[in-house]
């Protein structure tokens, strides 16, 4: 998992939650695998345990992580597909739409933009759909 950026405008608990999502998506924490404890997160990232709990609880509320009493927290079955669906739904707004707006401002045609995307996609080491690059 990536570190916490204490200078970011994004809340720390949200950074932790998104970092955990990323780790689940790339297989660092497979479905049904245990994740680190709240204490481990707070020590690793030097954050308050309540902040770590708040970040993890975002994923508990989304049924991506579940608690086993006395054992810890685990990645839920189907978590990867849930996270992919969630992120796909926001992908256009967060990335594609703003990229198209900037391309239009720069006078880049749809065809030129398409070629740029194709070239960049091929240059990434994991250019297969669904693979992290």
Q: What is the pLDDT of residues 32-87, one digit of tens each?
A: 999 999 999 999 999 999 999 999 999 999 999 999 999 999 999 999 999 999 99
Q: What is the pLDDT of residue 125?
A: 58
Q: Which CATH class is domain 12-77?
A: mainly alpha
Q: What is the pLDDT of residue 93?
A: 84
**Are β-strands 72-75 and 65-68 bridged in parallel, bridged antiparallel, or unpaired?**
antiparallel
Domain ranges within the chain, ordered by starting residue: 12-77, 94-123
Q: What is the largest CA-CA distance in the chain?
A: 59
In angstroms, the CA 114 to CA 8 distance is: 32
Collapsing DSSP to helix, strand or coil, 3 comes out as: coil
Question: Which letter, b or e, does each residue of 92-110 get, where b requires 16 or more Cβ atoms within 10 Å of its Cβ?
Answer: eeeeeeeeeeebeeeebee
The phi, psi pair for 120, rounded to 5°, reads: -65, -40
Collapsing DSSP to helix, strand or coil, 13 comes out as: helix
Collapsing DSSP to helix, strand or coil, 92 comes out as: helix
CA angle centred on 38, ends 34 and 39, rounded to 5°: 115
Calculate what percentage of the chain has a pLDDT beyond 90: 83
In angstroms, the CA 49 to CA 23 distance is: 20
In angstroms, the CA 118 to CA 115 distance is: 5
pTM metric for this prediction: 0.76
In angstroms, the CA 52 to CA 40 distance is: 9
């Amino acid at each position: 998992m990536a570190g916490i950026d204490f200078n970011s405008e994004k809340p720390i608990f949200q950074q932790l939650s998104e970092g955990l999502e990323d780790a689940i998506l790339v297989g660092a924490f497979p479905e049904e695998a245990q994740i680190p404890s709240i204490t481990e997160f707070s020590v690793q990232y030097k954050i308050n345990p309540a902040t770590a709990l708040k970040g993890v609880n975002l994923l508990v509320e989304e049924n991506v992580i579940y608690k086993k009493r006395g054992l810890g927290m685990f990645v839920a079955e189907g978590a990867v597909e849930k996270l992919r669906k969630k992120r796909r739904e926001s992908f256009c707004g967060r990335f594609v739409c703003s990229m198209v707006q900037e391309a239009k401002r720069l006078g880049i045609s749809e065809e030129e933009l398409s070629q740029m995307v194709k070239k960049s996609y091929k240059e990434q080491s994991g250019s297969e759909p669904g693979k992290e690059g």
